[in-house]
A and B are shown apart, each in its own frame.
Chain A
Amino acid sequence: MAENLIKPENLVYKKTSVMTDKVMHYCPGCGHGTAHRILAEVIDEMGIQNETIGVAPVGCSVLAYNYFDVDMTEAAHGRAPAVATGIRRVFPEKYVFTYQGDGDLAAIGTAETIHACNRGENILIVFINNGIYGMTGGQMAPTTLEGMKSSTSPRGRDIKTMGNPLKITELVAQLPGSYFVTRQSVHTPGSVRKAKRAIKKAMEYQKLNKGTCLVEIVSNCNSGWKMTPVQANKWMEENMFPFFPLGDIKVPQE
């Protein structure tokens, strides 16, 4: 029965050609794959594959350059916005994006993030915030919530000794150099569509040369959080979203 339906004319969705056929290394249930896909789809739909240069971070998405079929550079930990600055300054006509996690963007790379956004570099920063260091095995991140357990906050994040979770996206929105700043998620079909629209807008804004666009995606880390994917998404809704509320933070004043 099902076999009869698999015909070209019944095709409603296929993988974008802006993604390679490499098998992803991400854990099952992780949001990275979806975030990659919508970014690649935007590049595809805009027809800018040949004009786009990406910058991969250090973190779980260190190998992002294997999955996007665009020219890419692998930056040192936290330095992606500086690398992207170098690229966009010598290629002012091209589309340049960084793809960074919370440790990369909001801890070790805070200076590069703030200053690239404050200069108003005409790049897109995609920021995946899952409140934990995934690649190194679940240590505390700058965005780890108060009381949240990680391998370096095994009794939960204690604000008094470990400091506060950092809302860097709100910080970036304060800067005159940022143009469009929004916080999204990719854990439901509806949120995926919204996040994709945000990324598309941000990518299109690059041509206006009006400043930095940052799209935060609050995501899960079921492995690092030690939950099933379903539990992780539920936990994210109940705990991450109240502290990191979804929605646009800074929209262009037309």
Chain B
Amino acid sequence: MKELRLMKGNEALAEAAIRAGADAYFGYPITPQSEVIEYLMAENPAERTGMVVLQAESELAAINMVYGAAGCGKKAMTSSSSPGISLKMEGISYIAGAELPCLIVNVVRGGPGLGTIQPSQSDYFQAVKGGGHGDYKLIVLAPATVQETVDYVKLGFDLAFKYRNPVMILSDGIIGQMMEKVELFEQQARSTEEPEWATVGKKPGRDHVIVTSLQLQSEEQEKVNLRLQAKYREIEKNEVRYETIMTEDAEYLFVAFGSAARITRKAMEMARAKGIKVGLLRPQTLFPYPYEAINKLADQVKGILTVEMNAGQMVEDVRLAVNGKVKVEHFGRFGGMIPNPDEILNALEQKIIGG
């Protein structure tokens, strides 16, 4: 039977973590995502499923607790918001380098610096292009609804273990704070498996397991990098996810993700009412990115507008995908400001149709 609830994004995320069979959550409070750890503590998952929930002394400690637990083959996760995610970047790079699975949630707020507590999408580059040091990639999932937030917790753990790679859910303050109807999936059992790569205590007849990202010989480190790159190509081949709305007859195209895509959809409907044939492509994975789908649509449309709650980050990937075929422009509000559909429609008319 369907279990429907009206839930706040951050609380739904926490509930989904328990239900996904997560073994451990380590976090540190920061607005606008503190409800995640508050909900977990209130739910007492130690009783419900045996899940560990611990408030760490810092974001640094939290991500390194995740590293330790992930190295044990456990489903471990953390969540934070932009300044906190910056602090976690060291650990994320180590986890990617050691090829461990884990889930990291960024409920993005405006920056740079301490910035604002209002919603933003200005951590796109940090999530998709690196953030931490070294050649690594996160699998980045971008929910646009509370429902997708819930579904991506489960998907995120699945992908993390499939590829032994950290997965980030790139949410924002709107999705984290708003309440929506959500269908919850059933409680998954916590795994009792002991992966052969995990530090579970040395078993007789096997070598001791070493979880490390250190290779002092350049030749060996290059091999690690080649292995990682091969994995990323495999992810690009298998895991691209996106949604298209009214693109069949589109003469123009919006590209937007997360909250911005919801507002852009409204702008699209307003444009359609005026007779402007515009469609929307919404990437659900930001790495891997739907380059191919956008490239194909570039053969069909006269121009593309990306709508982002930042100063123009994803637009660079759209331009790479389009490769000069048609005009690509960016419209953004930032610093915690949220665009309204009127100004998006206006930007389409000014920058793309009239431009």
Contact = CB atoms under 8 A, between A and B. Distances in A.
A241 B310 CA distance: 57
A153 to B, nearest CB: 27
Interface residues of B, number: 39
Contacts of A115: 56-57, 61
B71 A112 contact: no
Contacts of A63: 214
Contact of B65 (A49, A51, A89, A114): A89
Given A50-B203, A111-B58, A75 B214 contact: no
Given A65-B210, A74-B214, A115-B61, A85 B54 contact: yes
16 contacts: A20-B208, A49-B202, A68-B208, A70-B201, A71-B208, A71-B209, A72-B211, A73-B212, A79-B61, A86-B24, A86-B72, A87-B68, A89-B54, A90-B74, A111-B57, A115-B56
B41 interface: no
Interface in B247-291: none
B194 to A, nearest CB: 11
A70 B208 contact: yes
A90 B67 CA distance: 12
B258 to A, nearest CB: 30
Nearest to A88: B68
B61 A112 contact: yes
B213 interface: yes
Given A62-B214, A68-B208, A89-B65, A82 B203 contact: no
Contact of B56 (A68, A73, A82): A82
A89 B24 contact: yes
B69 A90 contact: yes
A91 interface: yes
B90 interface: yes
Nearest to B91: A76
Contact of A82 (B60, B70, B204, B212): B60
A79 B91 contact: yes
Interface of B: 23-24, 26, 52, 54, 56-58, 60-62, 64-72, 74, 76, 90-91, 94, 98, 199-204, 208-214
Contacts of A70: 201-202, 208
Contact of B94 (A52, A53, A55, A76): A76
A51 B202 CA distance: 7
Nearest to B75: A90
A79 B199 CA distance: 17
B67 A50 contact: no
B201 A94 contact: yes
Nearest to A118: B57
B67 A73 contact: yes
B201 A90 contact: no
Interface of A: 20, 49-53, 55-56, 62-63, 65-66, 68-76, 79, 82-87, 89-91, 94, 111-112, 114-115
Contact of A85 (B68, B70, B204, B210): B68
Given A111-B58, A111-B61, A112-B64, A65 B212 contact: yes
A69 B206 CA distance: 10
A83 B202 contact: no
Contacts of B211: 72-74
Most buried by B among A69, A73, A112, A114: A73
A53 B208 CA distance: 10
Contact of B67 (A56, A69, A83): A83
B202 A85 contact: no
A27 B54 CA distance: 40
User: Which 10 interchain pairs have the tightest Cβ spacing?
Assistant: A86-B68, A86-B65, A82-B64, A74-B212, A71-B199, A115-B57, A83-B68, A86-B69, A79-B64, A82-B61
A73 B67 CA distance: 9
Nearest to B57: A115
B57 A50 contact: no
Nearest to A79: B64
A90 B202 contact: no
A87 B210 CA distance: 14
